[in-house]
Amino acid sequence: MSKPFDLLNLYARFSRERKISVTAPQTAQEFLAEIGAQLDRALTDDTLIQGQRTAAMFEAMVVALGRYKLMKVEDTGRVYPPGRYRAADFRIVLEDDEQWLVEVKNVYEEDPVRQERQIMTPPYLSSLDTYAHATRAALKVAVYWARWGIWTLVSPHDLLDENGYLKLDMKHAVRFNELGRLGDMSVGTTPPLTLRLTADPDTPNTIGPDGMAPFTVGEVTMLSEHRILTRADEQEIAWIFMNLGEWTEQATKAIVTDGKLSAIEFSWLPEERLNEGRERFEMIGTLSRMFSRQYMQQANGNSDSVQIELEHRPNWFAPLISLDYKSDALPLWRFIQQPLAVKTANKSRAIETRPGV
């Protein structure tokens, strides 16, 4: 078990501010009482809890995407001289050694169409900038648009208004999104995706007069179109898509043969087919949105399981991100967005992976 350095530092500051000895018996009692009171107030502050959860989700998402060399929580400890510098939430060293300081914000607007918010005032931005320049890093702002479950990561100076305020509109921020540098991408594959539960033929499965049938699962099969997924990485990717992708789950299908229940199928399809002919793929979502959906489902569980932080899963998306992945059974089309600021002739660069490519 690691030593409680952070707790001891907090206790030392408490005793210093009150000019009482750390070894005096009443000091520890007063400290625990103060900490308890502060915790009670914090647990009723929904804005604080959402902000902390959003920062924790961003950290976990970057770890899951895995496209970084080093990541560190930056906004801890004291900074001197006081009042001049503000440390951003995270420092990220990218794979090419570029350094980012990322400030994370949560935005929730009830109106799904009007998604905009003033994110920073000029003094707030200036204090972050001063710190970034002093530590030779590029300042970035990551915003979680909670109404849509969408992340954007932008260079703030590209989006300031005429008065120096950072006011973001989600639709505009998406065009400048740099999250692809950290491994985010839009992914497509061939629909439908199907989870088939086949009945064990050696157990009863006859449908009775009341329409009921006993059913024991003998085999679990995943399919893309009509191709069976046999590899572990194919099945892992398909499971992520089924649970967290944008496609809609269809009505459960029962397969009946000679009055017996042979199998049950669960299928997922896009609401609208946009590609026909040879290129039959359809987009199923972005990795960042899939991760956020999974994170919020777990963090906002029932009253006995609400969390602010969840356990990290390093390289969770590794099979999806790997450019070595090739599969005829579950082909992937992957697109990495480039922000508008670095576009050429207003056309974004995309990396596309086809079967056998």
Higher pLDDT among residues 151 and 218, named by residue: 151
Q: Write out pLDDT tens, residues 244-302.
A: 999 999 999 988 888 888 899 999 999 988 776 656 899 999 999 999 999 998 888 66
Same-domain check for residues 274 and 307: no
Same-domain check for residues 118 and 237: no
If pLDDT is split at 50, 70 and 90, which confidence band does 1 have? low
Tokens 């793929």: give the residue. Answer: 281
Does residue 1 form part of some domain? no
Same-domain check for residues 154 and 287: yes
Same-domain check for residues 229 and 144: no
Does residue 34 form part of some domain? no
pLDDT at 341: 55
User: How far, in Å, are 237, 268, 269, 300 from residue 252 at the CA level?
Assistant: 21, 10, 13, 27
Q: Write out pLDDT tens, residues 116-151.
A: 888 889 999 999 999 999 999 999 999 999 999 999
Tally of structural domains, the chain: 2
118: which 2 tokens?
Answer: 């003033």
Same-domain check for residues 341 and 272: no
Does residue 17 form part of some domain? no
Same-domain check for residues 84 and 138: yes
> What is the CATH classification number for the domain harbouring 131?
3.40.1350.10
Does residue 147 form part of some domain? yes
Same-domain check for residues 151 and 204: no
Does residue 24 form part of some domain? no
Same-domain check for residues 74 and 135: yes
Does residue 218 form part of some domain? yes
Cα–Cα distance for residue pair 98/141, rounded to 1 Å: 16
Same-domain check for residues 231 and 356: no
Does residue 15 form part of some domain? no
Long-range (24+ apart) CB contacts under 8 A made by 44-50 are 49/308, 50/106, 50/108, 50/146
Q: What mean pLDDT do residues 174-179 have?
A: 94
With a CB cutoff of 8 Å and minimum separation 6, the contacts of 112 are: 147, 148
- Please determine, for residue 216, whether its predicted confidence score (pLDDT) is greater than 90: no
Same-domain check for residues 67 and 200: no
Does residue 235 form part of some domain? yes
Half-sphere exposure at residue 230, Cβ-oriented, CA atoms within 13 angstroms: 4
Same-domain check for residues 195 and 161: no
Same-domain check for residues 271 and 353: no
Structural domain span for residue 163: 46-185+283-319+337-357
With a CB cutoff of 8 Å and minimum separation 6, the contacts of 195 are: 220, 221, 222, 242, 265, 266, 267
